[in-house]
């Protein structure tokens, strides 16, 4: 009997795995064609550039090297000095470096003109001219690159003006916020725009969760994939799958932070620990939980509200209710109104580390007011509540310890 009972669960898990793989494949195929084309274009450009540098080294034989070593030197020059440095350079740094080099070369040329009017020997003058040219060109290159970050390219408009805004509108999604699903509602309400980056390792983690034998985890993983498909269909968002990976970093959260540094992006998450670590490293965080707390309705003392008394409080004659967003409401004098909807008056609002707590009081005379309109007017005009209502109630936390 035990063996037969495991068969459906295994088949369900296998079917869940197939569904998860199908969703990941469909999402990747709809999201990455442009990136694949760009990858092959960049690969072709890099290959041609490396081939030209190798041919130049093979022909000119720098430093009196052999033709083979000259070709290797040209290839190293193409791949190391240019490729690895230019990938990390911003457009402003490149513009600053180019402008600084031009000014350095111009200064070296003017200095060489002055040297031609001296009685210095030709060989010495050539040495100084070449030395001044190299030094001033290098100084202009370094200073221009360092001061390039101070350029305001937005003032130029057009292509250059869009670099900073696009760079700062990149958001990297965390696995937890994808499974949570509220980020799709935020994006649908146009509170999230720009470029959404989905790291490949996050997509793999979602697939592992969707393939889990635990039905709860499998459902969460499928929900995350459905949320990604929903975000991908939004026309105002540009969704990209980033192939970047950091093999030297084992933790997924640390990989997210490294990717945020590389793309100068913000991390969208609801993980409290990741929020703290990213803040310490100077990375901008968009926390969905903080947004939800900020959007909770503001309740002021003295306002009336209707709540459903769910259970008994820990203090005498207290009842406990919850709002739709999970906010706890402690009602004094509502112990015998459990499982009923009553109108209360808010007495105070307390903000705790676990969230917001609302204290209120229930008056039985308020329930009799609709039957006697005149009495209702008098009761609203006079003082309400006795000594028990004036007493400040203490919070009645649920048994779990969280509100």
- For 42-80, how does the pLDDT look when each residue is reduced to its tens digit (9 = 90+)? 666 677 777 877 888 888 777 778 888 878 887 877 776
The verdict on 224 and 334 lying in the same domain is no
CB-based contacts of 254, cutoff 8 Å, min separation 6: 246
Inform me whether the pLDDT recorded for 7 exceeds 60. no
Residues 130 and 173 in one domain: no
What CA–CA distance (Å, rounded) separates 320 from 314? Answer: 9
* Same domain as 187, residue 231: yes
Token pair of 168 as six digits: 């700062």
pLDDT of residue 261: 87
Residue 114 lies in a domain: yes
Note whether residue 17 is domain-resident. Answer: no
* Same domain for 197 and 150: no
- Is the residue at 401 inside a domain? no
Task: Indicate if 232 and 136 belong to the same structural domain.
Answer: no
Q: Check which CATH number belongs to the domain holding 274 and give it.
A: 3.40.50.1010
- Mark which of 236, 266, 294 sits at the end of a domain: 294
The pLDDT assigned to 23 comes to: 57
Residues 257 and 362 in one domain: no
Averaged pLDDT score across all residues of the chain: 75
| The predicted structure's pLDDT at residue 366 | 54
Last residue of a domain, one of 155, 182, 200: 155
Number of domains in the chain: 3
Q: What angle in degrees, to the nearest 10, is found between the helix axes of 33-60 and 67-76?
A: 140
Q: Environment class of residue 159 by beta-carbon count within 10 Å: exposed (0-12), middle (13-18) or buried (19+)?
A: exposed
Q: Please check whether residues 140 and 212 belong to one and the same domain.
A: no
Q: Is residue 173 part of a domain?
A: yes
- Domain of residue 339, CATH code: 2.40.50
Same domain, 83 and 46: yes
Digit-coded pLDDT (tens) for 132-182: 888 888 888 888 877 766 666 655 554 454 444 444 478 999 988 999 989
Same domain, 83 and 141: yes
Instruction: Please check whether residue 185 lies inside any domain of the structure.
Output: yes
- Classify burial at 302, counting beta carbons within 10 Å of its beta carbon; exposed 0-12, middle 13-18, buried 19 or more: exposed
Cβ atoms of residues 350 and 396 within 8 Å: no
**Looking at the structure, do residues 290 and 344 belong to the same domain, yes or no?**
no
pLDDT score at 41:
59
Highest average pLDDT, of 1-10, 97-106, 140-149, 244-253, comes from 97-106
Q: Which pTM does this prediction carry?
A: 0.47
Domain final position from 127, 155, 183: 155
- Given this model, what pLDDT does residue 137 score? 84
Residue 289, domain extent? 169-294
Q: Are 372 and 378 in contact (CB under 8 A)?
A: no
Per-residue confidence band for 308, with pLDDT thresholds at 50, 70 and 90 = very high
Q: Does a structural domain hold residue 211?
A: yes
- Determine contact, residues 235/273, Cβ cutoff 8 Å: no
198: closest CA among 254, 250, 251, 256? 256
Residue 318: strand pairing partners: 332
Tell me whether residue 299 is in a domain: no
DSSP 8-state symbol, 187:
H
| Assigned domain for 335 exists | yes
Say whether pLDDT at 393 is over 50: no
Q: Which pLDDT score, from 0 to 100, does residue 151 have?
A: 66
The reported pLDDT for the residue numbered 144 is 81
Phi, psi of 241 (to 5 degrees): -100, 120
Which token pair is 73? 């030197």
Co-location of 119 and 221 in the same domain: no
Q: Identify whether residues 54 and 77 lie together within a single domain.
A: yes
């Amino acid at each position: 009997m035990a063996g037969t009972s495991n068969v459906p669960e295994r088949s369900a898990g296998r079917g869940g795995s197939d569904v998860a793989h199908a969703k990941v494949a469909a999402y990747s195929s709809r999201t990455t064609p442009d990136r694949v084309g760009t990858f092959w274009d960049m690969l072709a450009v890099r290959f041609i550039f490396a081939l030209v540098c190798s041919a130049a080294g093979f022909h000119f034989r720098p430093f009196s090297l052999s033709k083979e070593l000259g070709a290797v030197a040209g290839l190293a020059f193409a791949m190391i000095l240019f490729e690895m440095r230019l990938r990390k350079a911003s457009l402003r740094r490149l513009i600053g470096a180019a402008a600084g080099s031009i000014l350095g070369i111009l200064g070296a040329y003017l200095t060489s003109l002055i040297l031609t009017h001296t009685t210095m020997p030709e060989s010495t003058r050539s040495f100084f001219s070449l030395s001044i040219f190299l030094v001033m060109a290098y100084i202009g290159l370094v200073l221009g690159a360092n001061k390039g970050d101070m350029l305001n390219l937005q003032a130029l408009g057009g292509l250059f003006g869009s670099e900073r805004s696009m760079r700062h509108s990149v958001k990297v999604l965390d696995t937890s916020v994808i499974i949570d699903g509220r980020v799709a509602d935020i994006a649908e309400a146009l509170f999230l725009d720009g470029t959404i980056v989905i790291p490949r390792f996050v997509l793999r983690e979602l697939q592992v969760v969707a393939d889990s034998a635990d039905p709860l985890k499998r459902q969460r993983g499928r929900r995350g994939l459905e949320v990604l498909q929903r975000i991908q269909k939004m026309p105002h968002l540009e969704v990209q799958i980033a192939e970047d990976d950091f093999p030297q970093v084992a933790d997924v959260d640390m990989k997210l932070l490294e990717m945020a540094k590389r793309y100068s992006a913000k991390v969208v998450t609801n993980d409290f620990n990741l929020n703290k670590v990213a803040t310490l490293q100077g990375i901008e965080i968009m926390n969905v939980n903080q947004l939800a707390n900020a959007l909770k309705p503001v309740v002021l003392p003295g306002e009336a509200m209707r709540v459903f008394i769910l259970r008994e409080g820990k203090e005498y004659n207290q009842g406990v209710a919850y709002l739709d967003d999970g906010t706890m409401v402690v009602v004094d004098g509502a112990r015998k109104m459990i499982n009923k909807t009553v109108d209360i008056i808010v007495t105070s609002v307390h903000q705790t580390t676990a969230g917001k707590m609302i204290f209120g009081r229930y008056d039985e005379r308020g329930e009799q007011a609709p039957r006697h309109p005149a009495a209702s007017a008098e009761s609203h005009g006079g003082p309400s509540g006795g000594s028990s209502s004036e007493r400040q109630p203490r919070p009645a936390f649920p048994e779990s310890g969280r509100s």
